[in-house]
Structure 1
Amino acid sequence: MSQFVTLSKNSPEFESYLLGTFADDKRALPVQTLNVNSSSETVTFKVLNCNELAPPAWALVALQTLRIRSFLLILVPLFLILTKNLSDETMRDPQAAILATIGVVFAFLAMNLRNDFMDHMKGVDRVFEKSGSRAIQNGWVRAITVKKLSSMFLVLAALTSLPLIYTYPDLGIVIGIAALVGMWAQFKKQNSFKYQRGGEISLFLMSGPLLTVGYQLAMGAPFDMESFWIGCVYGWLVLFVVHLKNFSNILPSSQAGFSNTVNWLGFDKSRRMLALWWGLFIGFNVIYHFNFAGFYWGFYLSLGLALISVHFVGKLKAISSPAGSEMRDIFRRGYALYLLAVGLWTFECLWYLWP
């Protein structure tokens, strides 16, 4: 039989309820959080016996917990670099490329799980009902289990990188920089990159140039500026989605005291920033194509994106308030632009590989 327990942040049991370690046969589901991200934070938990929960099949729980849908963020740049080197016939070590792919997947799983754990403990996923995987908040898995899984995948990623670093010492520099950025971004107990102005730069580096350059070197291919440019252009595109999501949550984020670049700029300036960010992506895409890829692909692809973007920019300008369904509509439209850009870029790469 369920019961409700309200605990303050100063309570000695507070962290054990969030972690799920207060009892082996019970789950505490956070149903209300007040004064989040402050010393006076209080959380009301609905405490259930484990046999009262009705989770979906274990496979669905695993897919949800690991956030498989988010793998598009890393699979796209890996695909771009892979097809580039296949087209240029510069991939010298397919076995190392496979090992690097496995290592990147392990590292991404570790980052995803750590992100969910931190957002649960910090209060983000307890305030935003659609944030994160929802596996912890639904009681399907304990927060402490998510933390342990994150550490396990991180160790596996590190072990996978050792033979690659031994074979290609230059790769060790890239992995070392990525490790430092990742430790700062995900493993600080307070004020991680998601809660401070400009902190999104770490995500740009991890999903952009560090990933693409590292993957290039792991194939046995030499460093070149094209792999760096691919990472920068794609990393810029990823940050567009991040800023777009933060913009759609700007009101509850401000009320909860969460800080990021969008909240710092405010509603009006963030609208202009999003339009400018997307426009700069199209511009960077043109520069990349004119220097490293096909002229006609760059021209027509960028022209098509620019024309389709007109309606999105118009919608941005028309929003008068951060409250209401218009914010969700803007996110859907902006994310559709991201998917379109990724789809066209993928089709272009497949075109280059066509005999």
Structure 2
Amino acid sequence: MSLNKGIAFIAALVLLLCAGQASDGLVGNQTDDTAQSGDFNGDEMVNFADFLFLASKFGASQGDDRYDAPVDLDGNGMIDFGDFLLFVNAFATSTSGGGGGGSPDRFLYTRQGSDPSWSSILEEKQIPIGTNSSTGITGSIIDVNNEVVEKEPHAFRPIESEINIHTPGNSLIPRREFHKWSRWYQEDGNTQVFRLFDGEHNVRNARANAARIEAFSKKRWNRGTWHEWIGTYTIVKAQGCGIFQVKNSGEDWSIMLVMTADGDVVFQPRRATSKTVLKNMEGKSFDVRIRDNGHTSECYINGEFVGRHDWERPSGRSTFRWGMYVGGKKLSKDALLFVTGATVDPER
């Protein structure tokens, strides 16, 4: 970066902060999670050290030696004034709490490392096409702010152990291999981390689009005994997709919870009328309880009954799936979802 650009950059930061514009929401609809992304050195503070690092990268584009993906806060492939505005908002949020660093309670997570673009993964043939990958793809590490995210009533419930996961590159990954797939799935404390990235799609077979990262229970059942799933969702980066399914191997799903791109939560019974049950939940948490007996499914959100649906399933067996499934649509932006205390058939 030239000296003149550097001087202008610093001057702009000083003027904006002194004017108080940053603390008034200069960027608009930014969540606390976005603010924390300005912590480039991982010290849980957004401060002048992070600003200097941003300044050293300013003007770089994807493919340049100076380009650093975590500094590209708006993800447009360039480290430019848009990233500067996001950083200003993060800087103001971090310092407004006093003590120079702000309160960690403001933040949902920090990230260590970076993640390559989906196009570069495909170009470099890091994942096979048309078959289940056995090698996986690792990614940056998400450090969940457990004190903030893991709240009652499910804060102290350990993650369900008897699960597999389904990623864009493999449909049946056992727990012993989860570490190979950290680009899409991680666990921190009692919280599951589900991630999808802009442009991703299914590559394990010919099905178009269908990006997903889901956990699913090993437990299966036919019609008869009731089974139950409980957990707390935190929508960090919203994306239009399914986030929970009662899934049957022969008759597909019976009910689904859907997250919209705006962070709304929709209850969707199969071939019946859907209804929005929560609005504007990005950066917020909600509790979910699902019951199913192989024919009838019930849904409760934050302890309130949401809906009941009957779906005949004469063949196959049912189970619970949770995470993110985009379906036939194209994935147009990064998505991030936390699920805390996910438990199948909890002991009361």
What's the TM-score, normalizing by structure 1?
0.31
Structure with more strand by fraction = 2
Structure with more helix by fraction = 1
What's the TM-score, normalizing by structure 2?
0.32
